[in-house]
Amino acid sequence: TQSQPRSIARAICGFCSTGCGLKVHLNESKQAIGLTADTDYPVNMGMACPKGWEALTPLAAQDRATTPLLHGKPVDWDTALQTFCRKFQAIMDQHGRDSVAFLSTGQIMCEEMAFLGALAKFGMGMVHGDGNTRQCMATSVAAYKESFGFDAPPFTYADFEESDVLVFVGANPCIAHPIMWQRVLRNQNNPHIIVVDPRKTETAMAATQHVAIQPKADLLLLYCLARWFVDHGVIAEKFIKEHTCGFEEFREFLKDYAPEHHLSAIGITAAEFEKMARTIAWGERVSFWWTMGVNQGHEATRTAQAIINLALMTGNIGRPGTGANSITGQCNAMGSRLFSNTTNLMGGHDFTNAKHREKVADVLDIPVERIPDRPSLAYDQIIQGIEDGTIKGLWMIATNAAHSWIQQKRVRDLLHKLDFFVVQDMYATTESAELADLVLPAAGWGEKEGTFINSERRIGVSRKVSRAPGQALADFHIFRLIAHYWGCSHMFSLWTSPESVFEILQEISRGQPCEITGIEGYDMLEACGGVQWPWKQSDQSQPKDNGQEVKEGAVKPMQQRRLFEDGKFFTADGRAKFVFAEPRPVLEPTDSDYPLVLLTGRGTSAQWHTQTRTGKSAILRKLYPAEVYVEMHPLDARNRAVKDGDLVRVKSRRSEIKAQVRVTSTVQRGQVFMPMHYAEVNQLTLTSVDPQSRQPSYKHCAVQVGAL
Ligand code: SF4
């Protein structure tokens, strides 16, 4: 019968960067009829969060885009693609190659990202393209590149289980990365868990220490901790001397960061500070973890590097249970970082480096002149380009800027200004698709094949388990068709299937820190439970279990590989670098008109980002309120004469929205919290980006809240 599975296919969950393995149950027609979490996969070991369990539901939604739409009217693919090419070509002919751009995503497969980036830049001649990973991981990329010489998160998930102290800064894995949190719960060392966060988040409630700082006081706190370690001799002198550079300058810089002078600005007591510092100093295996609370700040890169500095100066890197570890956001943010060809040339190369351009041109067998010699504008600069009138054509793939980008009303107004706006998505009903001139209907997760790279650098293969509805096509096939219609398909004659592109990407990775030439195709990825980069051809001779006995149910040693175990980093001299700068004030401090700080973040493990997919699941909707809410401290609520459940007006200098109040002491006085999943919230946020990473600052702006 339909309900009895005839076979199983393996997939990697397409929501968050944890990268859980799923077993999808197929009927006799090879169509998915259910799924379970993969008990053999070394990431999740049979666990999945509500989003993973509901991964098939969004595929069956009634509002799937099933045909191309031109100005809202169904057209055939031929008309759609002829229009696509004619319009973009006309804009480029009239205004030059800088007048068009694409905005990509961390949600599609590596092979699709690479195809998009190669097609747009090498085939169509665009210069500008960025991804929604700019909202997510750009800070970690910038921080790691400068400090380690390459965008290289060093950890493996086993580190969650092997630390004796875990320090989470601006991270709430209990709900944002729930399966990673389960790995923390498996830790048998009775670890200290320190959470640095203005809010008493779910993770903070479960921690042994909650360090409830003032919003964006994290950089100051981290410098004061570094100063305390210097003053108390808690530094790894030998490691610093042999494997780092810039420490003496850092020590000098820290003279201004005596903790006692800064504790009131940080918002914690001397006892709280001392306890945190002593706990880290006590730890033999201390791991530092961060995510969006750091990445989405006004000085995000320097904050990430301040965490890296702590790990370096205490020697907590390259050993089990240690590391300066950025937890990625989206299922394939890491794939985007390495292969999307947006602001970096694919394979972790550099557009401005002539040797890198020659290498990539050689592997792809294309003229080197086809590769731009300058990096793309970043996401915010593309948006600014639309405002300035320099960007006139935009192609948006699997992302929803009209909901998710900062100061949302401005973005929506600007998208109207474009001469030609294309959205390629599973749904024609997203806020962005509704503004598009042309909608290209795309297959979703599960309706196509390819690889994702998760937070611990693990490349996993996800199989096709369902047919896309109507005329919807895999993004991969849409790119192939566009190459044909554009007249550049000869450049992609070898790009015939996702696996053939994976082989090309392997070759592009050769000689890079992220080299993956040793992977023997998708079958090896599936058989090994994914493979963490790097994995070179020379690595193939290693026994798959390192010759060690593996207890039943344990993660095999081959499957837990961390970077920098030899103390060598990816910089030219092999040394990690201490990078630091004086903290800058927040960009929109509170005042008498806007007296509250608005914090935004994830509100639940049951919803994903803008709810585009998870909002289709009745089960997931039941796990989360349908209407937008704002969390407020009891004293702030009392001062405004509002009660729990009241409808209030939340107003910033950009806009105002209505929300239901939740009175709770999980937020501090003077702060309110709103979840990012609701479309309204980004009407309030501030247009500002971190200067190094150009990642938007979602985590701090000034608002007022009043009764309606
Ligand atoms: Fe795992 Fe993340 Fe998917 Fe949940 S959303 S099942 S934690 S990969």
Do 337 and 305 share a structural domain? no
For the chain, how many structural domains are there in total?
A: 3
Per-residue pLDDT for 630 more than 80? yes
**Average pLDDT in the 663-684 region?**
95
As a whole number of angstroms, the distance between CA 452 and CA 335 comes to 6
- Of the three residues 479, 501, 520, the one that is the final residue of a domain is 520
Confidence of residue 416 (pLDDT cuts 50, 70, 90): very high
Q: Is the pLDDT of residue 702 over 50?
A: yes
Residue that terminates a domain, selected from 327, 356, 389: 327
Q: What's residue 558's pLDDT?
A: 54
Best of 24, 41, 49 for a ligand 1 pocket test (most atoms within 8 Å of beta carbon): 49
Whether complex ipTM tops 0.95: yes
**Is 314 inside any structural domain?**
yes
CATH of residue 644's domain is: 2.40.40.20
Residue-wise over 550-586: b if at least 16 C-beta within 10 A, else e? eeeeebebbbbbbbbeeeebbbeeebbbbbbeebeeb
Residues 267 and 347 in one domain: no
Among 615, 81, 669, smallest CA distance to 400 is for 615
Sign of CA dihedral 225, 228, 232, 233: positive
Query: Could you give the percent of the chain with pLDDT greater than 90?
Result: 91
Supply the pLDDT for residue 555: 46
Domain carrying residue 202: 154-327
Pairing of strands 531-532, 323-326: unpaired
CB distance 168 to ligand 1 below 6 Å: no
Distant-in-sequence, close-in-space partners of 73: CB < 8 Å, separation ≥ 6: none
Ligand 1 closest atom vs CA 16: 2
Q: Clarify whether residues 194 and 127 are in a common domain.
A: no
pLDDT of residue 543: 45
If you take atom 1 of ligand 1, which residue's CA is the nearest one?
A: 20
Ligand 1 centroid to Cα of residue 399, in Å, is 19
Report whether pLDDT(268) > 90.
yes
Q: Is 87 in the pocket of ligand 1 (CB under 6 A)?
A: no
Angle, vertex CA 316, rays to CA 310 and CA 321, nearest 5: 130
Identify whether 108 is part of a domain: yes
Mean pLDDT rounded to a whole number for the chain:
95
CA distance 201 to 206: 9
Is there a contact between 303 and 297 (Cβ–Cβ < 8 Å)? yes
pLDDT tens digits along 95-110: 999 999 999 999 999 9
Q: How far apart are CA 303 and CA 222, in angstroms?
A: 8
Contact 332, 106 (CB under 8 A): yes
Prediction pTM value: 0.96
Mutate to test the pocket of ligand 1, among 10, 12, 13, 39 (most ligand atoms within 8 A of CB): 13
Average of pLDDT values for 258-281?
98
Nearest ligand 1 atom to the CA of 180 is 7
Contact 338, 346 (CB under 8 A): yes
197 and 82 assigned to the same domain:
no
179 Cβ below 6 A of ligand 1: yes
Residues 257 and 311 in one domain: yes
pLDDT band at residue 343 under the 50/70/90 scheme:
confident
Query: Is the same domain home to 499 and 635?
Result: no
Q: Is 14 a member of any domain?
A: no
The answer to the question of residue 554 being in a domain is no
- Return phi, psi of residue 382, to 5°: -65, -45
- Same domain, yes or no: 246 and 387: no
CATH number at residue 440: 3.40.50.740
> Which of 269, 299, 327 marks a domain boundary?
327
Cα 530 to averaged position of ligand 1 atoms, centre (Å): 16
CATH label of the domain that carries residue 308? 3.40.228.10
Give me the pLDDT at residue 208, please: 98
Q: How confident is the model at residue 266 (pLDDT cuts 50, 70, 90)?
A: very high
For a ligand 1 pocket test, name from 10, 12, 20, 56 the mutation site with the most ligand atoms within 8 angstroms of its C-beta: 20
Q: What is the pLDDT of residues 534-575, one digit of tens each?
A: 999 887 655 455 444 545 544 454 568 999 999 999 999 999
Q: Which two tokens stand for residue 83?
A: 């229009």
* Predicted confidence band of residue 2 (pLDDT cuts 50, 70, 90): low
Tokens for 704, please give them. Answer: 């007022």
Q: How far is the CA of 53 from the centre of ligand 1 (A)?
A: 9
Output the pLDDT for position 538. 82
Alpha carbon distance 422, 387 (integer Å): 17
Same domain, 76 and 218: no
Residue 589 lies in a domain: no
In the reported structure, the alpha carbon of residue 25 is separated from the centroid of ligand 1 by a whole-number distance in angstroms of 18
Examine the domain organization and report whether 391 and 505 are in the same domain. Answer: yes
Contact 47 CB / ligand 1 (< 6 Å): no
pLDDT tens-place string over residues 271-306: 999 999 999 999 999 999 999 999 999 999 999 999
Residue 540 lies in a domain: no
pLDDT of residue 560: 83
pLDDT digits (tens, 9 = 90+) for 152-187: 999 999 999 999 999 999 999 999 999 999 999 999
Distance 14 CA to ligand 1 centre (A): 8
The region of weakest confidence among 48-52, 263-267, 406-410 is: 406-410
CA distance 185 to 356: 43
19 C-beta closer than 6 A to ligand 1: yes
**Nearest protein CA to atom 2 of ligand 1, as residue:** 16
Q: Is the CB of 52 under 6 A from ligand 1?
A: yes
Task: Please check whether residues 355 and 258 belong to one and the same domain.
Answer: no
pLDDT recorded at residue 540: 66
Residue nearest to atom 6 of ligand 1 (CA): 52
- Between 432 and 611, residue with greater pLDDT: 432
Please give the pLDDT value at position 336. 83
Q: Output the pLDDT for position 575.
A: 98
Asked whether residue 381 carries a pLDDT value surpassing 50, the answer given is yes
Single-letter code of the amino acid located at 49? C
Specify whether 369 is located in the same domain as 496. yes
Q: Is the CB of 460 under 6 A from ligand 1?
A: no
23-76 pLDDT, tens digit per residue, is 999 999 999 999 999 999 999 999 999 999 999 999 999 999 999 999 999 999
Half-sphere exposure in the Cβ direction for 431 (13 Å, CA): 20
Residue with CA closest to ligand 1 atom 4: 49
Q: Is residue 572 part of a domain?
A: no
Of 555, 547, 441, 504, nearest to 76 by C-alpha is 441
Which tokens sit at 204? 């903070």
Residue 683 domain-assigned (yes or no): yes
Residues 298 and 360 in one domain: no
